[in-house]
Structure 1
C-alpha cells in the first residue's frame, strides 16, 4: 500500500505575510465613484447624466473622463487640479460659454480634449496653459468669433486642431503661435474674410490645412508663407476672385490643391508657381475659360468641370506632361487638332456633358496612353473615318446619349485595344458590315436604345472576342441567318423590345458558349426547331411577351436536353 503524505502546514513566516497583506488591503480606502457616474478602473463615465457642473470626488487615478452630453455651463478654475493622470477629457455638447485662465490647470498629461458643440465665443490667451502633452484639441461647432494671439502658446505637442464650424472672421499674425508640432488644422465653415500675412507662422510641420466654406476673397503672396511641409490645402467654397502671382511660392511639398466653387476668372502663368510637386488640382465651378501657359510638371489629376470653357486651344495643356486624369464637363463645342499634344501620359479623359457636335480628324493626336475616353451626353451626329486616330491604347470609349446617326467606314480604325464600346441612346438606324472592322479585342458592345432597323450580315464577323452584345429597344424586324457568325465566344445577346417576328434555326448558329438569349417583348410568332442548337449547358432563353403561335414538336427538344431554362410567359 502506498503511503499518503499530508499537506504541510504553513510556516510562521507565510502566515505573517498573508496577515500583513490583508491588513494593507483592508486599510486601503475605496475610492468612491461620483454618482450617478459609472466607473471601471481608471475610466469615469458621466455623460448624459444631467450635470450642470463638474461633479466632485472624481478619483485622482482617472485617465479617461467623459462629461459630454450634459448641461454644464461653467468650469471653475482649478476644477481638474488633482487629475494629473487624466489623458482624455470629453466636454462636448454642453452649454459652456467661457473658458478662463486656469480652467485646465493640473492636466499636464492630458492628450485629448474635446470641447466642441458648446457656446464658447472666444479663446483667450492663457486658457489652455499647462496642457503640455495635448495632441488633439476639438473646439468645432461653437460660436468663436476671435482667437487671441498666444491662445495656443505652450501646446508644443499638439498635432490636430479643429476650430471648424465657428464664426471666426479674421486670422491675425501670430494666431497659431506655439503650435510647432501641428500636423492638421481645420478652420472650415467659418466666416473668414481676411488672412493676415504670417497668420500661419511657426506651423513648420503642418501637412493639411482646411479653409473650405469661408468668405475668403483674395490669396496674397504672404498668406501661406512658411508652410513648407503642407501637402493638402482645401480652399473650396469661398469667394476667391483673385490669386496674386506667387501666392503659393514655398509650398513645394503640396500634393493637393482644392479651389472648386469660387469665382476665379483667370489663372496666370505665375499663379501656381512653386507647386512643383502638385499631384491634384481641382478648379471645378469657377469661370476659367483658358488654362494655357500653366506649368505643373508633376500634376496627375486636373478638374476643370463647369468652368465656362467653350473651346480647347492647341496649347491649352502645354506644361502638364505628367497628367493622367482630366475632367472637362463644360460647354465645349470644338476640339482643335493638336489640343492634347504634350499630355502623352493622359490615361482618362472625361469630356461628357459638353456641346461637342463634331470630332475632327486629329482631335486626339498625341494621347498614346489614353485608356478611357468619355464623350457621353454631347451632340455628336457623325463618327468619321479617323476620328480616333492615335488612340492606340484606348480600352473604353463611351459615346452614349449623343445624336449619332452615321458611323462611317473605318470610324474605329486604329483602336486595336478597345474592349468596351458604348453607343446606346443615339439615333443610329443602320449598321454596315465594315463598322466595327479592326476591333478584334472588343468584349462589350452597347447598341441599345437606338432606332436600328437593319444589321448587315458580317457586321460582327471581326469581333472575335465579343462577350456581351446589347441590342434591346431598337426597331429590328429581321435577323438574317449567320448575322452573329464570328463572335463565337458570345455569352449574352439582348434583343428585347424590338419587333422581330421570326427566329430561324440558323439565326444563332455557332454560339456554343452563349449563356443567355433575351427575346422578350417582340412580335415573334414562330420559333424554328433547334434554335439554340449547340448552346452551352444550363443557359437561359427568354421569350416572354411575344405572340408565339407556331411551335414544332421538337422546337425545344435540344434546349431542354442540354439543361436550358426557357421563359415564355
Structure 2
C-alpha cells in the first residue's frame, strides 16, 4: 500500500511539471574552406565564436545582424573581405574598421544605414578598403558624404538603389582614388559643379535610372564609360579644350528625351554610342558652342585647318539610334565612321537609305534598318564591303534594283520579311530583286512579302542554308525553284501559303534537315524518290488523309520529329503511316492532338487508340458485308428467274386448255 501511494505521489509531480520547451533547431555550421568562411542564410545575430583565427574572408550575408561591433565580428581583425549584405544593421561601432588594416572589400548593401547617417556617424577611417557597397540602404542627399570622408584607397563605390536627389560638390572629397562610381537607380536631379573634379582617376560612372534632365559642359577628362540611360535628358553637351582628346569610350544615353543627337568633342576616342529610345528627329547640320565644332556637324565640309586625323568619329564601332523619329539619314553622317561595325537605326520613320559614294561604312558587319518606312535601298558597289547581316524587315520595299544585293559579297544573313519584294528569274526588271550568285548568303527571310511566284533556279549559285518563304498566300512554286540548293539547304519554311499541291521535288535537297509545311491545303505529299536526310517535318493544319507508302518508308529512315495534328487523317487507309506514328523512333510532338477518322460518319478518334487489329477487323467486316450483299443479290436474281419461269409455264397451260 505504501508503495502504491509513493507511486501516485511521483506521478502527480510529473503531471504538475510544465512541459519542457522544445529546443530551437541549431543553424548549420559555417562552411570553412582554407581561410574563407561562409555563414550566409543562418539567422545569425553575430559571427560564431568558434571560427578559426586569422581568417581572410567572412560572409555573413542574409542574416539578422543589427549592431556591428568587435564582439559581433568575434574580434576578427585580419579580414580582407567582409560581406554583410542584406542584414538589419543600423549601428556600427565608431572606428571599427580602423582595427582591420587589411580589409579590402566591404559589402554593407541592403541594410539600414540611413539611421546611422542621421547622426553623422562615420564608417571610417577605411584606410585600406578598395571596394565599398552601400547600395539599397535608404540613403539620401548628404549621407554618403559622411561615410566617405576618410577612404583614401577606395577604388570602387556603389550607391545604387538609394534615394539620393543631389550630388554635392564635396560628395567624394574623402575618396580621391575612386575609379568606378555606381549611382544607378536613385532620384538624382542635380549635380553640383565640380562634384567629380576631385576624382582625377574616375573611369566608370553609372548615373542610369535617375531624373537628370540636362548635362552641359560635361568634362571628365579621365572618364572612359558614362551611363546616363533612363533619365529625362533633353540636352547633352560635353566640352573639351581644342587641343585635348576626350578619353570617353562608351556613352549610353538611351531612354531619354533628347530631341537632337548629343554634342561630342571633335577630338574623341568614342567607340560605343547608344542614343536609342529618344525623341530625335534629325541630324544637326552645324552645332557649336564655346567656339568649337562638334560631331553631327560634319554635313558641311570641315574647315581646311582641320586635318584628316581629327575626324569626329574615327574610332566609333557601335552606334544605336533605334526607336527615334528619324525621317532621313544624310549620307554625310557616315563620312567619318571608318571603324563602325554595328549600325542600328531600326524603328524610325526613314523612307530612303542610300550610299552613293565609294568606301562608305567599310567595316560595318551588321546594319539594321528594320521597322522603318523604306521604299528605296541603294548602295554603291564600293560601300558596305564587310557587311554580313542586313535587316530590312517591316518596310515598304517593292521597287529595287535587281542587283541591289549583288555587290554585298560578304552578306551572310538577309531579313526581308514584311515587305513587297518579288523574286527575279531570268528577266531584268525594276520590280523584283535577284537572289542568284550571292556567294556568302546563308540565311534569307522572304516571309510576308505577297510573293506570287518563285521562278526556276531562283537561288542558283547562292549557298542558302535557311530559307523562309512563309505567309505568302497563293505562292506558286516552280518544279525547279530550288534547283541549285541541293547540297546547301538545311531548313525550309513554307507555312501559311495556302499551297494545295507541292510540285517541287524536296527529296532532291540532300542536306535538308527540317521542313515546315503547316497551315496549307495539302492533300498529299510529293513522292520521296531517294533516301531522305529530313529530321523534322511539320504538316499541321493541312488536308492530309494519307501519305504514300513509299514516302513514309523514305522518311522513316531519318525522321526524328513530326507534327501532323489538325489533318483529316484516315485511321486505316494507310497502315504504313500508322506504324510510322506508333512503332518507329519518330517523335510525334503533337501526338495528343492527332486524330483520325475510323468510320466515315464517326467522330475523330485519337491516333494512339487505333490498332492494326481494329483496321483488320474493319476490313474483314467490310468483306463480309460485301459477300453478304453479293449473296443476297444472287438469291434475288435466282428468285426472280424462278418466278418468271413459273409464270411462263402457267401461260402455256392456259393456252392448251383453251384449244381443247
TM-score scaled to structure 2, two decimals? 0.67
SS at match of 1:185: strand
Q: Structure 2 vs 1, CA of residues 512 and 105 (structure 1 numbering), >3 Å: closer, same or farther?
A: closer
Q: Separation in 1 of the partners of 2:104 and 2:258?
A: 41
1:201 to 185, 188, 197: 197
Q: Structure 2 vs 1, CA of residues 523 and 81 (structure 1 numbering), >3 Å: closer, same or farther?
A: closer
Q: Which residue of 1 aligns with 2:658?
A: none
1:312 to 326, 329, 337: 329
SS at match of 2:205: strand
Q: Is the 8 A contact 1:515 1:539 kept in 2?
A: yes
Q: Which residue of 1 aligns with 2:128?
A: 133
Q: Does 1:538 align with 2:558?
A: yes
Q: Separation in 1 of the partners of 2:316 and 2:437?
A: 29
Q: Is the 8 A contact 2:457 2:483 kept in 1?
A: no
Which whole-Å deviations, capped at 9, do the CAs of 1:202-226 have from their partners, x for residues lacking one? 43433322111122222232x4434
Which whole-Å deviations, capped at 9, do the CAs of 1:267-313 have from their partners, x for residues lacking one? 36x5244431x222111111222344462111111111112112222
Q: Which residue of 1 aligns with 2:303?
A: none
Q: Give the alignment of 1:82-161 within 5 angstroms.
A: 84-97=77-90, 102=95, 104-116=97-109, 117-120=111-114, 122=117, 127-142=122-137, 143-147=139-143, 152-161=148-157
Count of residues paired in the alignment: 520
Q: Separation in 1 of the partners of 2:536 and 2:42?
A: 59
Q: Which residue of 1 aligns with 2:386?
A: 369
Flag structure 2 segments of 5+ consecutive residues without an equivalent. 1-25, 284-295, 299-311, 426-432, 589-595, 597-606, 608-660
Q: Which residue of 2 aligns with 1:12?
A: none
Q: Does 1:430 align with 2:453?
A: yes
Q: Give the alignment of 1:218-367 within 5 angstroms.
A: 218-221=214-217, 223-226=218-221, 228=222, 230-246=223-239, 252-267=246-261, 270-276=263-269, 278-291=270-283, 292-293=296-297, 295-338=312-355, 342-356=360-374, 358-362=375-379, 366-367=383-384
Q: Structure 2 vs 1, CA of residues 317 and 99 (structure 1 numbering), >3 Å: closer, same or farther?
A: farther
Q: Is the 8 A contact 1:77 1:101 kept in 2?
A: no
- The alpha-carbon deviation at position 332 of structure 1 amounts to 2.6
Q: Which residue of 2 aligns with 1:29?
A: none
1:479 to 502, 523, 528: 502
Q: Separation in 2 of the partners of 1:535 and 1:44?
A: 57
SS at match of 1:113: strand
Q: Structure 2 vs 1, CA of residues 565 and 163 (structure 1 numbering), >3 Å: closer, same or farther?
A: closer
1:407 to 413, 423, 426: 423
Q: Which residue of 1 aligns with 2:476?
A: 454
SS at match of 2:202: coil
Q: Structure 2 vs 1, CA of residues 94 and 408 (structure 1 numbering), >3 Å: closer, same or farther?
A: same
TM-score scaled to structure 1, two decimals? 0.76
Q: Separation in 2 of the partners of 1:516 and 1:106?
A: 67
Q: Separation in 1 of the partners of 2:515 and 2:62?
A: 60
Q: Separation in 2 of the partners of 1:513 and 1:385?
A: 34
1:212 to 191, 198, 208: 208
Q: Separation in 1 of the partners of 2:515 and 2:51?
A: 73
Q: Which residue of 2 aligns with 1:499?
A: 521
SS at match of 2:132: strand
Q: Give the alignment of 1:370-409 within 5 angstroms.
A: 370-381=387-398, 385-400=402-417, 402-404=418-420, 406-409=422-425
Q: Give the alignment of 1:1-40 within 5 angstroms.
A: none
Q: Separation in 2 of the partners of 1:57 and 1:484?
A: 74
Q: Separation in 2 of the partners of 1:207 and 1:88?
A: 24
- The alpha-carbon deviation at position 479 of structure 1 amounts to 2.7
Q: Separation in 2 of the partners of 1:518 and 1:42?
A: 55
- The alpha-carbon deviation at position 371 of structure 1 amounts to 0.6
Q: Which residue of 1 aligns with 2:618?
A: none
SS at match of 1:315: helix
Q: Separation in 2 of the partners of 1:84 and 1:231?
A: 36
- The alpha-carbon deviation at position 65 of structure 1 amounts to 5.6
Q: Separation in 1 of the partners of 2:474 and 2:297?
A: 46
- The alpha-carbon deviation at position 171 of structure 1 amounts to 2.3
SS at match of 1:244: strand
Flag structure 1 segments of 5+ consecutive residues without an equivalent. 1-34
RMSD: 4.4
